Amino acid sequence: MKILVVEDDKATRDYLAKGLTEAGYVVDTVSNGRDGLFLAAGEPYDLMVIDRMLPGLDGAGIVRTVRAAGIRTPILLLTTMGGIDDRVDGLNAGADDYLVKPFALAELLARLNALTRRPPMGTEPTRLRVADLQMDLLRRSVTRAGQRIELQPREFRLLECLMRYAGQVVTRSMLLELVWDFHFDPQTNIVETHVSRLRGKVDRGFGAELIHTVRGAGYCLRESDSIQPAGSA
């Protein structure tokens, strides 16, 4: 798989090139936005990793330009700008994912793996289903065995994350980031409390449990006993 890395910091660029190459990717790297746009628009890539702040043209500008040109290659933005407005701006520009520095290479690889499995833009599913549990993302509704389940917005987002990674372990850190936008551990039991409430609504009274605790790892929503780490192929 061929990947483009646009990153102006040499240490980070070299670190990404080494890690991605070791993971089996063919990697092209550039250090500024204009060269990045030239390659992004002219070469066939399977994935792109683009820094948000770049000389010449920023990462969001690259994304907007390639999307306007009809290029649908999955793009992950890297940045030190972790505010919600910054994330929204990057995603609205057309990026598929957003990872805040400093980051772990393992998480970056997991996110890239997830992007390669994502349906092409425009074909994103609007319904998720695991066993008899169904989620309608457009109507913002959840049912199990045909019975409607009322969820608070945070509970809905939590269940959505678990359903998107169905059969895989979702770690506490991943949930803190994806559901609460925390890039640190707040040292509270906020995740455990919400999972417990969600279990009470999704599992209680329906017989078979779908939400499982994986001791020392995280949580998994599954119908069977087969579990994989989130982001694995």
The model's pLDDT over 82-129, given as tens digits with 9 standing for 90+, comes to 666 667 777 888 888 888 888 888 889 998 988 887 655 444 567 899
Can you list the residues of the chain whose pLDDT is less than 50?
A: 121-123, 226, 232-233
The ranges of the chain annotated as CATH 3.40.50.2300 are 2-117
pLDDT value of residue 124: 56
Give the chain's end-to-end CA distance (angstroms, integer): 14
Give the 3-state secondary structure percentages of the chain, helix then strand then coil, rounded to 5: 40, 25, 40
The pTM of the full predicted model, rounded to 2 decimals, is 0.53
Closest CA to 191 of 227, 149, 155: 155
CA distance 143 to 134: 5
Cα angle, residue 174 at apex, residues 36 and 21 outer, rounded to 5°: 40
The ranges of the chain annotated as CATH 1.10.10.10 are 127-229
What 3-state class would DSSP assign to 59? helix
CATH architecture of the domain with residue range 2-117: 3-Layer(aba) Sandwich (3.40)
Contact 43, 35 (CB under 8 A): no
Contact 111, 77 (CB under 8 A): no
Maximum CA extent, the chain: 58
- What are the E-state strand segments in 97-190? 97-100, 127-130, 133-136, 141-144, 147-149, 168-171
Residue 140: DSSP 8-state = T
CA distance 113 to 46: 11
pLDDT value of residue 63: 92
CATH code for the structural domain at 127-229: 1.10.10.10
pLDDT value of residue 185: 78
What the block records as the tokens of 8 is 């102006």
